[in-house]
Amino acid sequence: MTDIKDILFAFSEEIRLRIILLLRNSILCVNCLTESLALPQPTISRHLAILRRTGVAEMGKDKLHCYYTLNKKDPFGLLKKGITKTFYNALKRIEPFKGDFKRLRAVEKKCNARCKVRI
Ligand SMILES: [Zn+2]
């Protein structure tokens, strides 16, 4: 079970915060996350594993792709409306977050998975 220390740990690393903000209203495949963050895929996968383990993110699958979202159960009601909204509003216009959203808008157009992007 997720406790508040897990949530705080998940938010305590810049790469994980960048992933969390990209997933805030979206459902994204690993490829879209990797291209949006412009970081090596193993790095993204390592942080996605931590986000899953801490109960912040969850993964779904179809035949070809794995998709990530924030945990729909939203432990403590923090993820969609609370902390993430505050971080998003504070950080969306500064780098590296600004670049992440710009790259996501470009990458979603060529993604052939069924990602749902809402920025
Ligand atoms: Zn995608």
pLDDT score at 1: 59
Residue 84 C-alpha to ligand 1 middle, in angstroms? 21
pLDDT score at 76: 74
Report mean pLDDT in 10-residue bins for the chain, 119 residues.
Answer: 86 97 95 97 97 95 93 79 87 97 95 88
User: DSSP letters along 13-60, please?
Assistant: SHHHHHHHHHTSS-BEEHHHHHHHHTS-HHHHHHHHHHHHHTTSEEEE
All structural domains of the chain: 4-108 (1.10.10.10)
Residues by chain with Cβ below 5 Å of ion ligand 1: 29, 32, 111, 113, 115
Least Cα distance to 55 among 8, 100, 90, 18 occurs for 8
pTM, to two decimals: 0.93
Residue 66 C-alpha to ligand 1 middle, in angstroms? 9
Residue 1 C-alpha to ligand 1 middle, in angstroms? 29
